[in-house]
Amino acid sequence: MEKIIELKKVNKWFDKFQVLKDIDLEVGSQEKIVICGPSGSGKSTLIRCINRLEEHQEGNIVVDGTELSESTKNIEKIRAEVGMVFQQFNLFPHLSILDNCTLAPIWVKKLPKKEAEEIAMKNLTRVQIDDQALKFPGQLSGGQQQRAAIARALCMEPKIMLFDEPTSALDPEMIKEVLDVMVDLAKGGMTMIVVTHEMGFAKEVADYMIFMDEGKIVERAKTKDFFENPKSERTKLFLSQIL
Amino acid sequence: MNLIAKPSKENIKTYVPIGLFLVSLGFLDVFINAFFNFNLTAFLPSQLSYFLPLVLGFIGFYLIRIEFSGVRPLDILNKNINSNNFNALLTLFTIFIIIKSIPPMLDWFILEANFIGNSKEDCTGDGACWVFIKVWFNRFMYGLYPNAEQWRINTAFLILFAVVGASFFVSEKLKKYFILFLVFVFPFLGIKLISGGSFGLEYVESAAWGGLSLTFIISAFAILFCFPIGVILALGRRSSLPAIKYISIGFIELWRGVPLITVLFMSAVMFPMFLPDGTFIDKLIRVLIAITLFEAAYMAEVVRGGLQALPKGQYEAAKSLGMGYWRMNALIILPQALKLVIPGIANTLLALVKDTPLIFVVGLMELAGMIGLAKTNPKWLGMAMEGYVFAGLVFWIICYAMSRYSQNLEKKLSTER
């Protein structure tokens, strides 16, 4: 399988505190990976390093054949290929949902407005909020906003999608509608890295599970093995607490 | 026997009429006293007569202060202006002072003011001498600009108002061109028209410009230029490049720390000394640059306030969609930040307009400056009051219009529900 993301010996510090310790990770094209672990274990930082919202200090990160480093000139090009969905949605409140979705395709990918709107409507239909296209983010429920944020990321037609705890800020009732969209996306063959505590979702779509603690990858295993037969004690403890 | 009882729902039927009667009596006394100069209570000792309305009103307000009376107007009244003895007294004081000050103001402004004539001697009444404004009106509007050429100023402002007015009625697409014209073409066209020197127009040097038209010219140019400079400084101050960051900080702190009057004086008197021989920059332009840079420093801090109010997530979302620094700021960050600080921007721009009279220190006379000049004319001594009331009124109208516009803009741009 073709490798699309490759991390080698990645280390990162916030001042003196080390958040990532010798992270090695390979993600193949169309693979779905779920990262879990206690808070403060570095999961969010890890995926934020993949589109360089955070900078790593040591090691190599290669995304789709381009190495990320300080001298990476066209970091924008990489980011345009890597969609990201945030815990807090981060929709642009001054723009309508449709404009949220067309802004980057028009200004970054230089698509004509009409084409960008067609793509936007296609993706909004896919996440089932096409009827909300002309509303502003403040007028939507949390679940709808998160689905809009997913549609916005999809409009850039990314090769990889990163999800940073996409359901953590949602009411329990709205979690399902967002997870359904993500399952649908996974079945469509998208490469996905998801940080989440939704183990039901993980069991359904993940190829691999990664368990992180204190900045290290403690366990990396096929989903079935991970849940039925975890190797490390730390993983067992964690699973016993959340399952 | 019941009179000592606390006002309550039981005695509402007797207390409220008595209370209202006493309050009205108090108001009536003050009213007749102020407007007809007739003292209803002249038979009482003078001090008692003077304070009687207050006493009557106070007792009346006490009697009608019934909690949860069930009568809506009464409850609203009690809640807002009669919630306790102190508030009742404060209410009475305020209303009495307003009533008492209306007649003398009315007299001075209108009833005993002088409108007819064309010299100071025609002002025989006790009130304001509006003849002063009438006679000098042309100078107040155009300064020392030659009378025969004043149509040029009028034309420039007529075009401005026509284009601005029309832009409210045309389609969105056309509006864009109107705004581009107003920002990039009109300022230079208008200045050329007013200063002349080509197209067969007589040259009028900027020292002759003045009055309200100069107020408008300076304000408009300073607003036009200080805004983008302020935005760039604000972005610069938050830049991750140390050179840009510290230059911005230095610039802002330097200009914010110096009084405008000093800046103006230096721009007019000291700055030319540093220029190489033979170069000459018009005084008005130097002053304009000084005011623009001064206000830009304030604008920068206002805009920075808006930038800091935006959550980090907005930056991250923009970046994650592949936007670079300029696209992120132009499309995502600034539209939101500027919307947040519209009140602060309006504040700064109002202050700018009201700072323009300070240009008198370099010998330029806008509206207030012309009034200052006119009141020292030997034939018109003692007209300071009329002049400055007029100036105050004109500035208030300008500033209030700007303030209303900013409020409308805020409402129009609001996307929250």
The ipTM assigned to this model is 0.93
Mark yes or no for CB contact A107/B323 under 8 Å.
Answer: yes
Phi-psi region of B327 (alpha: psi -120 to 50; beta: other; left: phi over 0): alpha
Instruction: Write the CB contacts of B405 (distance below 8 Å, at least 6 apart in sequence).
Output: none
Give pLDDT, residue B67: 80
Using one digit for the tens of pLDDT, what is the confidence trace for B229-287?
999 999 999 998 999 999 999 999 999 999 999 999 888 888 877 777 777 778 888 89
Rounded Cα distance between B296 and B289, Å, is 10
Among B317, B323, B417, the residue with its CB nearest the CB of A76 is B323
Q: Any chain B CB within 8 A of the CB of A13?
A: no
Q: Name the residue in chain B with its Cα closest to that of A139.
A: B417
Tell me the shortest Cα–Cα distance from B415 to chain A, in angstroms: 6
Tell me the shortest Cα–Cα distance from A20 to chain B, in angstroms: 20
Mark yes or no for CB contact A94/B336 under 8 Å.
Answer: yes
CB neighbours of residue B166 within 10 Å: 12
3-state DSSP helix/strand/coil percent for chain B, to nearest 5? 75, 0, 20
Helix locations, A135-171, DSSP H: 142-154
Chain B residues with beta carbon closer than 8 angstroms to that of A94: 335-336, 339, 413, 415
Strands A191-195 and A160-164 come out as parallel
Helix locations, B107-238, DSSP H: 131-142, 150-167, 172-180, 186-195, 211-237
Mark yes or no for CB contact A136/B317 under 8 Å.
Answer: no
Among B331, B413, B417, the residue with its CB nearest the CB of A103 is B331
The CA-based diameter of chain B, rounded to the nearest angstrom, is 96
Q: How far is CA B378 from the centre of its chain?
A: 32
- Using alpha carbons only, how large is chain A's radius of gyration in Å? 18
Burial status of residue B378 (CB atoms within 10 A of its CB: 0-12, 13-18, 19 or more): exposed
Q: Name the residue in chain A with its Cα closest to that of B332.
A: A92
- Per the structure block, which two tokens stand in for B255? 């200009």
Rounded Cα distance between B115 and B111, Å, is 10
- Quickly tell me which residue has 């069930």 as its tokens: B70
- Quickly tell me which residue has 């207050």 as its tokens: B54
Rounded Cα distance between A91 and B313, Å, is 9
Task: Please report, as a single letter, which amino acid is at residue A184.
Answer: D
- Quickly tell me which residue has 């955070």 as its tokens: A54
CB-based contact B298:B326 (threshold 8 Å): no
CB neighbours of residue B329 within 10 Å: 19
Tell me the shortest Cα–Cα distance from A135 to chain B, in angstroms: 9
- Per the structure block, which two tokens stand in for B41? 């209570």
Rounded Cα distance between B59 and B48, Å, is 15
Mark yes or no for CB contact A107/B417 under 8 Å.
Answer: no
Among B319, B331, B417, the residue with its CB nearest the CB of A53 is B319
CB-based contact A144:A90 (threshold 8 Å): no
Q: Any chain B CB within 8 A of the CB of A153?
A: yes
**CA neighbor of B391 nearest in space, from B153, B131, B212, B139:** B212
Strands A58-63 and A3-14 come out as antiparallel
- Using alpha carbons only, how large is chain B's radius of gyration in Å? 29
SS3 A99: helix
Which residues does chain A have with pLDDT short of 70? 1, 72
| Half-sphere exposure of residue B277: CA atoms within 13 angstroms, side-chain side | 0
Which residues does chain B have with pLDDT short of 50? 1, 417
Rounded Cα distance between B150 and B128, Å, is 29
Tell me the shortest Cα–Cα distance from B338 to chain A, in angstroms: 11
- Per the structure block, which two tokens stand in for B89? 């007294």
Give pLDDT, residue B1: 44
Chain A residues with beta carbon closer than 8 angstroms to that of B320: 51, 53, 79, 82-84, 86, 153
Q: Write the DSSP string, B214-239.
A: HHHHHHHHHHHHHHHHHHHHHHHHT-
Q: Name the residue in chain B with its Cα closest to that of A152.
A: B321
- Quickly tell me which residue has 């005695």 as its tokens: B11
Task: Please report, as a single letter, which amino acid is at residue B228.
Answer: P
Using one digit for the tens of pLDDT, what is the confidence trace for B193-223?
888 777 777 888 888 888 899 999 999 999 9
Chain A residues with beta carbon closer than 8 angstroms to that of B413: 94
**CA neighbor of B213 nearest in space, from B319, B349, B341, B369:** B369
- Quickly tell me which residue has 């949605």 as its tokens: A89
Q: Any chain B CB within 8 A of the CB of A226?
A: no
Give pLDDT, residue A72: 67
Rounded Cα distance between A105 and A112, Å, is 9
- Quickly tell me which residue has 């368990």 as its tokens: A211
Task: Please report, as a single letter, which amino acid is at residue B24.
Answer: S
SS3 B198: coil
Chain A residues with beta carbon closer than 8 angstroms to that of B319: 51, 53, 79
Among A82, A108, A152, the residue with its CB nearest the CB of B323 is A108
Instruction: Write the CB contacts of A128 (distance below 8 Å, at least 6 apart in sequence).
Output: A147, A177, A181
Tell me the shortest Cα–Cα distance from B186 to chain A, in angstroms: 30
3-state DSSP helix/strand/coil percent for chain A, to nearest 5? 40, 25, 35
The angle subtended at Cα B369 by Cα B367 and Cα B370, nearest 5°, is 65
